Structure 1
Amino acid sequence: MTTTVTGLDGLKSLVGKDLGSSEWLEITQERVNTFADATGDHQWIHVDVERAQTGPFGGPIAHGYLTLSLVIPLFSSLLTVEGITMGVNYGLEKVRFPSPVRVGARIRLNASVVSVEEVAGNGVQSTFDFTVEVEGSSKPACVARPVYRHYA
């Protein structure tokens, strides 16, 4: 379910709130291959299905950065900020990949709002905690603390 807020004050009202979980998204070999083509990372554990079967993960896995990139569409299903002129990705305070995402697995994003602080230029800097979970796994695929800036 999407949380919708209006303006910078609406965003500030979310500090400490859990935004819930996105829908599940299946990681397909086609998506992994497309990411490999876009980044030039064709390591066999991602794209060589036959060889990956005998590798350390028992099959091909998604790139860590593919998993990280998917937080963008997953997060957009959790939070909408209306009444602003612009929102930008400002960076990451941390990111880790505790467990792999095997091709065919489904992932979803859990998000919570850590802080929202005013910045110059009539804006706010928002920090979130993101956890990408893998269906059926006790360990997350990715934990990250992204930082965004929103301007009125």
Structure 2
Amino acid sequence: MAKIVVRSFEEFQAYVGKELGVSEYIKVTQEKINQFAEATNDHQWIHTDPVRAAAGPFGKTIAHGYMAVSLTPHLWEQIADIQNYKMLINYGVEKLKFAQPVLVDSEVRLRVNLASLVNLRGITKAQLDATLEIKDNPKPAFTATIIFLYHFN
């Protein structure tokens, strides 16, 4: 699926209530999990100790839930080419539900629907219904409403 291209509030508005697309899969490696643990000082064994995690509830390490959420901007850029803006703000995450752990070496991708779009005196508030899908797993890693603010030129 080709990226959608959006250059203004009016162009974005045409997508309200529609699926915007699906990203490519990205592999969640132990190296990436360890880097996230280092960056956040969250070194819980279920994430960083493959030997101990092998005997744990999932049989291997799992990605941090917030690591999965943090992949959203990168994967979103694969779905949409938003142009003609001077600033983008990560405004919020609502209704975040973790449904399934992301096991090490799993592949995940993002599926996005545009739930709503509001013009706040020249600032575009986009609410994206986002689902992080795990390859070959019927349950998603998470579902959430991701909110971005775009300041179009």
Q: TM-score, normalised by structure 2?
A: 0.96
Does 2:134 align with 1:134? yes
Does 2:55 align with 1:60? no
Give the corresponding residue for 1:86: 87
**3-state SS of paired residue (1:126):** strand
- The amino acid across from 1:99 in the alignment is Q
Structure 2 unaligned runs (5+)? Answer: none
Deviations 1:16-47 (A, max 9, x none): 11012110100000000000000000000000
Q: Equivalent residues in 2 for 1:101-112 (5 A)?
A: 101-112=102-113
- The amino acid across from 2:42 in the alignment is D
Structure 1 unaligned runs (5+)? Answer: none
Q: Distance in 2 between matches of 1:84 and 1:28?
A: 33
Deviations 1:54-98 (A, max 9, x none): 000110000000000001100111011112222211101221110
- The amino acid across from 2:83 in the alignment is E
Say if 1:8 and 1:151, in contact at 8 Å, map to a contact too.
Answer: no
Q: What is the number of equivalent residue pairs in this alignment?
A: 151
Deviations 1:83-130 (A, max 9, x none): 22222111012211100000011000000100001103x111110100
**3-state SS of paired residue (1:42):** coil
Give the corresponding residue for 2:14: 13
Q: TM-score, normalised by structure 1?
A: 0.96
Does 2:20 align with 1:26? no
Say if 1:22 and 1:109, in contact at 8 Å, map to a contact too.
Answer: yes
Q: Distance in 2 between matches of 1:104 and 1:17?
A: 31
Give the corresponding residue for 1:47: 48
Does 2:101 align with 1:96? no
Superposition RMSD in Å: 0.9
Q: Which contiguous aligned blocks of 4+ residues in structure 1 show a shift greater than 6 angstroms?
A: none
